[in-house]
Amino acid sequence: MKKIAVILAGCGRMDGSEIHESVLTLLSIAECNAEYKCFSLDKEQDHVTNHLNNETTSESRNMLIESARIARGDVANLETIDINEYDALIIPGGNGTAYNLFDLATKGQNYSVNPVVANICRKFTENKKPVGFICIAPAMIPAIYSFPVNLSIGTDKDTAELLTSRGAIHHNCKVDEICIDEAYKIITTPAYMLANNILEAYTGINKLVKKVVELS
């Protein structure tokens, strides 16, 4: 049975991983008769949001502990991952991802990716194992890889131009579509960059997961 590693960035779209995208990813992996294991960074989130009113609070929360909410406790420190045990990697999105796994939300065009996350993504790709990026997570790609990658974050013109300026090859995608870089086995889908509801998000995520499993 194929095993897929999933990187989470906390719990909640504004300050961690988008919960719908994360759960739909895990569901889709199970529907493909594959196994998943969740990982996160053992560090504090950039900030904490009250998701009822979208206001930032004075709380401090740990990404690994918060990710356990989504993973039902079954989550490990990303620094302990052995990529030889996994056939592929998937990273769901969420606004918090752009704060916690990389710093697009705070640094703008000069953003970088957490070195642990970037190194693990590169290792999967170097070993010809597929990597899937969902929602805003594809924005990490040009800051991870030293070569141009075909990708999509949907149809947002400003974000697409930013990624192109960093060396990516952006393709506009509808919410139910995926973009596949066949050479490097990197797959992307817009999800809640375009989705108006959970069903629309599921359609693209499910296609991405199926392709990731197929290529692994």
Which residues are identified as catalytic? 135
First CA to last CA distance, the chain: 11
CA neighbor of 138 nearest in space, from 204, 79, 200: 204
The residue behind tokens 């392709």 is: 211
Token digits for 85? 């045990």
- 2 backbone dihedrals φ, ψ, rounded to 5°: -70, 145
Beta bridge partners of 77: 40
Give every CB contact of residue 52 below 8 A, 6+ residues apart in sequence.
Answer: none
- 50 backbone dihedrals φ, ψ, rounded to 5°: -80, 105
CA distance 170 to 142: 11
The answer to whether 118 and 111 have CB atoms below 8 angstroms apart is no
Token digits for 202? 């599921």
